[in-house]
Amino acid sequence: MQWKFPNIPKKALPKNFSVFLYLLVFVVSIAIFAFAVVLINAENILPNLGLSCLYFVIAPLCFGLSITGIMYNIYHHKLLYVLFFNKKIESKHEQWQNWTRQSIWLVDSQYLTDIENLGLKIMGLEGSPPMNPEKQVPISTLHNLNSSAFFYIFEKILLPMKKKINQFSNIKVQLNTLKNSDLAMTNLINFCHINNISIRDSNISASDQIPSPKMINEWVDEYDNQTTLIINLVYDVKNSLPFSEYCCALLFSNENKASKLSKLRVFRPIITKLTDLSDDIEYLIKAEQIEKKQVRQLWAAHLPASALNILKGTFLDNDSEIIIEPNKLYHLDENLGVLDDSHAWLTLSLAAEAVNQGQKGQMVVAQCGDEIHIMQLYDKNMQPSNQKIELFILPVVYLISIISLLFTLIALIPANENILMTCFIIIFVAAVALAIIIPLSQYGEIKTYDHEFQEIWSSELAKLDP
């Protein structure tokens, strides 16, 4: 599956024949059949009142209904194709939508900053938001310089989630820094041992690069009950200080027990580029990962002005499917100074804090390299659709019409007992055979329709960027 979804329009339903035309065919069919019966069997039937009723009333009516039913089947055949085609489009859309709505639990998240209750201040829930400080405040100024900078950070971002971490038996830890990852890893191991945090040394991996949130896609697709703790230590390289603020830790899990510890979900992110941002946002809206009216706030970090304008044009428009109030769009570069690629995870942490504060659905847009990552968070999951993919409508009208037509043909055979009995047996066998052949034939047509649709779908899918 992929985010880009072929835009194949549904087919218009075919028009049925008019009632007047059906009545005309019905009447003309009765007249023609009755005339034929008179020519063939009038002498043998007229003396017998019962046979006259059967041959001149019941048989012509059945013949007229049969011809009308066969005529209706012409419309029904076209209708079946259109219904099948449209049903397949709906089914593909539902499969895609269910894929986009897959999520992973964000069990806990913590961030470190010199600004107390930063998220609450940005949201306007407490005090006034910080406005574009000239530089980030290094962590080295926030604590006693005689203590370990690593231990100070771990104390602030790991100890608050210790209880939840210890609920999981085999957590994988990704420790990401911008330099000295081996030293950071050694300090993390020692910190966990001292504070009885149940993280195995062998499960810790270190990197000298802050990864992009694209790995969340891989975690969403993991089905082996995996829990991952990602720790990001952002250095202040510019000022040659040990760390800058905005270090953070996030605990993700797809284990069942995670649902007991947190209701917060991070849905499958969409990854796009600036040139595709406007179009790809539409896919995100169509996915409805969160009920549209519940998307309340948008957090943006390290975005160029053109990307920010696209977001504003999409979500601040009164005609938009999702409407976000201007004061609910938080461009963190305005609040925290110039950010970079490493701050996507911090933005996610702030959005998670907003959900936990009762602000409902949140959207995060952050740039990493030349990619723009869009993520949504909410404490509820949209229910998947269980609509059946296959469509098979038994052609009852056509089947009854053909069988009825066969039996009415007896009225056109000279009234001879032996001939009639032989014809009746032949027609009965033919009717049984048709009762089997017609449904099988339609089943074959459905398979042909399916093959044709798959060719159309594959062709349209190939036109999209992977």
Query: pLDDT truncated to tens, each residue of the chain (466 aa)?
Result: 889 888 889 999 999 999 999 999 999 998 988 888 778 776 666 666 566 677 777 888 888 888 998 898 889 888 888 988 999 998 899 999 999 999 999 999 999 876 778 888 888 888 777 776 555 555 555 444 445 778 888 988 999 999 999 999 889 999 998 777 888 899 999 999 999 999 999 999 999 888 999 999 989 987 678 899 999 987 654 544 445 667 899 999 998 888 888 899 999 999 999 999 999 999 999 999 998 888 989 999 989 999 999 999 999 887 888 888 888 999 988 888 778 888 899 999 999 999 988 888 999 999 998 999 999 999 988 776 665 555 556 677 888 888 888 888 777 776 566 676 777 788 888 888 888 888 888 888 888 888 999 999 888 888 886 5
Assess contact for 229 and 201: CB atoms under 8 A.
no
Per-domain boundaries in the chain: 19-99+386-463, 104-378
Of residues 359, 442, 366, the one with CA closest to residue 399: 442
Show the tokens assigned to 17: 């024949």
Q: What is the pLDDT of residue 145?
A: 42
Q: Can you point out the beta strands (E) in 29-78?
A: none
Q: CA-to-CA distance for 24 and 40, rounded, in angstroms?
A: 24
The domain made up of 104-378 has a fold known as Peroxisomal Thiolase; Chain A, domain 1 (3.40.47)
Contacts of 114 (CB under 8 A, 6+ apart): 137, 139, 141, 142, 245
| Through-space distance between the first and last CA atoms of the chain, rounded to whole angstroms | 10
Q: pLDDT value at position 241?
A: 45
Residue among 263, 259, 281, 261 nearest 272 (CA): 281
Q: How far is CA 224 from CA 1, 35, 219, 253, 333, in A?
A: 20, 76, 10, 10, 38
CA distance linking residue 320 with residue 374, whole number of Å: 18
Residues 311 and 366 sit within 8 Å (Cβ to Cβ): no
**Single-letter amino acid code for the residue at 144:** N
Residue 203 in tokens: 């499960």
DSSP 78-135: HHHHHHHHHHHHHHHHHHHHHHHT-EEEEEEEEEE-SSTTHHHHHHTSSS------SS
Tell me how many degrees the CA angle 432-437-438 measures, rounded to the nearest 5.
100
CB pairs under 8 A, 24+ apart, for 96-100? 96/1, 96/5, 96/287, 97/286, 97/287, 97/288, 97/385, 98/384, 98/385, 99/1, 99/268, 100/3, 100/267, 100/268, 100/270, 100/283, 100/287, 100/289
Find residue 300's DSSP bridge partners.
Answer: 331, 365
Q: What is the pLDDT of residue 443?
A: 84
Please report where in the chains the tokens 């992110």 appear, as a residue.
269
Q: pTM above the 0.85 mark? A: no
How far is 431 from 426, CA to CA, in rounded Å?
9
Other Cβ atoms less than 10 A from the Cβ of 167: the count is: 17
